[in-house]
Amino acid sequence: MDVRQLRYFVNIVDFGSLGKAAEKLYVAQPSLSQQIAKLEDDLGVALLVRSPQGVKPTAAGQALYRHARLVLHQMEQLRQEVREGVGAESGTVAVGFPTTMASVLAMPVFERVTERYPGIRLQFFESMSGYLNELLANGRLDLAILFRDSNTSGITAMPVLDEELYLMGEPGAGVSPRSRSCELAALGGVPLVAPSVSNGLRLLLERTFAREQVPLNIVADIDSLPTLLSIAQSGAACTILPASSLALRAPADRPKIRRIVDPVIRRPASICWPNALPVSSASLAVRQTMCELIEELCARGVWTGIELRELPTPVA
């Protein structure tokens, strides 16, 4: 087993295709297949399952993929530190943003980091928090914002804020059109659209409505932020989201928003990173920048509906 074989294997899993991986790596597909066969022979297990739909890792392949990502990441850090010196803020930093937060935080992070640290190359991933957790655990991300406030196996969490959720749309009878708040009890039976059951927000809503004994009426599972907002604006159904989800929408394109009370619904958010490897200087710089910007955006009133935790100076 060598680093080249690991790089080949990781690319095949990432692309789900030998052909696409070969194009990315500028390697002939037969040569790529031969290297993977040697790797499988060396380890004594099958690593990939081939089908008309593409290529997927076996259980053994999944284990190798996780470790290979970490090894390749460590090799990249080694190169950067040798070239630039330990502590130099340079190299690639992959950051994952939940879809709702990307609209308010991603652009400021990009602008601040590229201005302050020209040696850092950013990679942004925007997705639902569950998928970001998977990418972080697999070593594909250096940092991610996840909706949690404690460490889990392999992942360190630094709590940064608590985010309030709001009702978006018109719930109809029982809530005044002029009101700026809405009691949770008034949402019993109101048609709602929400992310699918695998999403942490959906689980939070189900638990909150059940605890308060309020009937939850989710009429569609929608894993698309623009579609959730469009449905809420149309009046066909309401949705429950943080205020940050409206950041990129013009005022005329925003649905009516009301604060949910009795009880208020909040969720914690943390900046997280994998703890299997030392944190690079570049990753630490980006993490510090994210903390600074969260404080600034809150203080300026750009990011509403959040309550800051005490933000320590990030350390590796």
Please state the domain extents for the chain: 3-71, 79-162+268-308, 163-266
Amino acid of residue 159: P
Cα 229 from Cα 271, distance rounded (Å): 26
Q: Which residue has the higher pLDDT, 83 or 258?
A: 258
Q: Is the pLDDT of residue 316 over 70?
A: no
Token couple for 4: 């080249």
Report DSSP state, residue 171.
-
Which stretches of 119-235 are assigned E, i.e. beta strand? 120-127, 143-146, 155-168, 181-183, 191-194, 217-221
- pLDDT over 50 (residue 158): yes
Q: Which helix (H) or strand (E) holds 308?
A: strand 306-308
Quick one: pLDDT at residue 313? Answer: 55
The Cα 175–Cα 253 span in angstroms is 22
The confidence score (pLDDT) of residue 248 equals 82
According to the model, what pLDDT value does residue 85 have? 59
What is the reported pLDDT for 315?
Answer: 47
The proportion of the chain whose per-residue pLDDT surpasses 70, expressed as a percent, equals: 95
Contact 144, 272 (CB under 8 A): yes
- The number of CA neighbours under 13 Å toward the Cβ of 273 is 21
Residue with tokens 């989800």: 245
Query: In terms of CATH architecture, what is 3-71?
Result: Orthogonal Bundle (1.10)
Residue (of 288, 273, 277, 276) closest to 78 by Cα position: 277
Angle of CA points 14, 15, 21, to nearest 5°:
110
Strands (E), 195-305: 217-221, 239-242, 257-261, 266-274
pTM here?
0.75
**Banded model confidence at residue 69, pLDDT cuts 50, 70, 90:** confident
Q: What is the mean pLDDT of residues 51-72?
A: 85
Tell me which of 3.40.50.720, 3.10.20.30, 3.30.1960.10, 3.40.190.10 is the CATH number of domain 79-162+268-308.
Answer: 3.40.190.10
Determine the Cα angle at 259 with ends 254 and 260, to 5°.
125
Partners of 260 in the β-ladder:
182
CB 18 within 8 A of CB 32: yes
Q: Binning pLDDT at 50, 70 and 90, where does residue 161 land?
A: very high
User: Rounded CA gap, 186 and 208, in Å?
Assistant: 14
Share of the chain above pLDDT 90, in %: 53
Question: Using CA atoms, how far apart are residues 291 and 271, in angstroms rounded to an integer?
Answer: 9
Angstrom distance (rounded) from CA 185 to CA 14: 45
Higher pLDDT pick, 316 / 114: 114
Residue 86 has pLDDT above 70, yes or no: no
Tell me whether the CATH fold assigned to 3-71 matches the one assigned to 79-162+268-308.
no
Return the pLDDT at 126. 92
3.40.50.280, 3.40.50.10490, 3.40.190.290, 3.40.80.10: CATH of 163-266: 3.40.190.290
Indicate whether 87 pLDDT > 60: no
The residue written with tokens 């090894």 in the block is: 71
pLDDT tens profile 185-241:
999 999 999 999 888 899 999 999 999 999 999 999 999 999 999 999 999 999 999
pLDDT the model gives residue 255: 94
Pairwise CA distance, residues 143 & 158, whole Å: 11
Peptide bond into 52 cis (omega under 30): no
How confident is the model over 271-302, as pLDDT tens digits? 999 887 778 888 999 999 999 999 999 999 99
Residues 6+ apart with CB under 8 A from 4: 35
